[in-house]
Amino acid sequence: MTESRAARDATGATTAQPPPDTPEPGTAHTSTGVEATADALGVEATADAPMSGPTLSWNALRPLLLRLHFYAGVVMGPFLLVAAVTGLLYTATPQIEAVVYRHELHVSPDGDLDALSAQVAAARAAVPEGTLVSVTPAPGRTDSTRVVFENPGLPDNYTQTAFVNPYTSEVLGQERTFAGWWMPVRAWVDGLHRHLHLGEPGRVYSEIAASWLWVEILGGLALWLTTPRARNRIRRVLVPQGGPKGRKRTVSWHAVVGVWASVGLLGLSVTGMTWSTYAGASIGEIQSALAGPSPAISTTLPAAGKKSGTGSGPAADVGVDAVVAAAHEAGLRGVMNVSPPTKDQATYVVKENTRSWPERHDTVAVDPATGKITDRTYWADYPFLAKLTSWGIDAHMGILFGLVNQIVLALLAIALIGMLLWGYRMWWLRRPTRTGGFALGRAPARGAWRRLPGWFLAPAVLVTAVIGYYIPLFGLPLLCFIAVDLVVGSRQRRRAARTEVPA
């Protein structure tokens, strides 16, 4: 006689399948919540008594978390794997750029520097159809000067950049650059990582990966750190298990690598969402509400500095050399970006763009007629959350701490790739081995939520809904998981009801 569904619900027992390393692979047994979770993770279980009734305990919560961790890993794994592989490729782009574009980027020191205005004039002659956007004077003695132009026909956010030898004003070459800075190789790899070169629709993939990475990491940590262990608790948490190949060793490597990489991966998840399409907008609103607006520089001129009777622009221009000299006197150093006056901007604007540690982002506005500073914003005055966002994004891009930053990112990408592959192997090793055809590992048992008390379940659902609202590509897939799970569970219950034998 088979057990009825009502009896199973009343006892709260869960059914779990042992791993293939056990003497009887593919068979099922009835266990407590602790035993089911321990069996699923491939570790030892303690002899805790089975739980009866809807009371809140970790033994009741773990099976639910295990089921979410399993399904999220299986379904979201491909998104995370693509993000990890393309991110790993991105970490090497600075070195690739340095080799591919060495002629444009680097020069040999040769006497005194030419006037910056002469360098800009040479670039204008090389790009006669372009509109000058900005100038980045050579930050080091072996660096070239970048002169950036808007050019008709270029894609959004792309510009034409002329690279000039600061000692001879010779134009070394031209490249189509992204945001005026990234060379074509890095721009291509970045586009692959962000949207798979599918445009805005492709950004959904990377936002899904960022929106679920933190869920997988926190869920995995909770499951692994609270798994019952009879001995050597700390060592088993932090050191991968050796011994013969099998599911237990795979689980150990999957979890231990996750523990060591967890802080970095959580950071990548948060910073990845910061500039995403949907979650990024919500994060920006929250940041503005909590920290207030960042300081903005004024690019308008007093009436005396405008053309008489028109108010449309300055009467004279002291030139880019005098503007840079004024910025230096104001304390700006390192990488600087100089934007000339436009129809919407009456002054020169000089911004520090030193994005390695310590970052420098002071900005000054310079009157083109007199060369005097008319306004200034200080990086020190930015809200802490705005600074934190900038630091996080630059660390995500591998430029905050230079080569060390790149190495850490590469190790995190390799760790995530390994965790995903081990996770899929765990799923494969849980498959029934006595079936005649193809089969995959069984999911953790359903129905764990019914053993949670309502006073806990209701606020948990509310908090999850709020998170899903602000991170929609977490919330929408979660709703899909629940809907599919309910449909599958309903079909299985109807099938089981038809095959049950009366007592």
CA dist 382 and 363 (Å) reads 12
Query: Tokens for 73?
Result: 């890993």
Name the domain count of the chain.
2
**Is 149 inside a domain boundary?**
yes
Q: Read off the pTM.
A: 0.83
CB atoms under 10 Å from CB of 375, counted, come to: 17
Asked whether residue 142 is assigned to any structural domain, the reply reads: yes
Q: Is residue 258 assigned to a domain?
A: no
Q: Would you say residue 162 lies in a domain?
A: yes
Q: Report if residue 259 sits inside a domain.
A: no
Helix spans in 12-50 (H): 33-41
Domain boundaries, position 118: 106-182
Half-sphere exposure of 317 (CA within 13 A, CB side): 11
What is the domain-level CATH number for residue 141? 3.10.450
pLDDT tens-place values along the chain, 503 residues long: 333 333 333 333 333 333 333 333 333 333 344 444 444 444 444 434 444 456 777 888 898 899 899 999 999 999 999 999 999 999 999 999 999 999 999 999 989 999 999 999 999 999 999 999 999 999 999 999 999 999 988 998 999 999 999 999 999 999 999 988 899 999 999 999 999 999 989 999 999 999 999 999 999 999 999 988 877 889 989 999 887 788 899 999 999 999 999 999 999 999 999 989 899 888 888 877 887 778 999 999 976 555 433 444 445 899 999 999 999 999 999 999 999 999 999 999 999 999 999 999 999 999 999 999 999 999 999 999 889 999 999 999 999 999 999 999 999 999 999 999 999 999 988 877 666 555 666 777 777 788 888 899 899 999 999 999 999 999 999 999 889 888 888 888 888 888 765 55
Residue 313 is assigned to a structural domain of this protein: yes
Q: Is residue 191 part of a domain?
A: no
Q: How far apart are the C-alpha atoms of 340 and 125, rounded to whole Å?
A: 17
Task: Choose one of 381, 401, 429: the last residue of a domain.
Answer: 381
Q: Answer yes or no: is 377 within a domain.
A: yes
Cis peptide before 25 (omega within 30 of 0): no
| Residue at a domain's end among 381, 398, 421 | 381
Closest Cα to residue 64, out of 443, 444, 458, 448?
A: 448
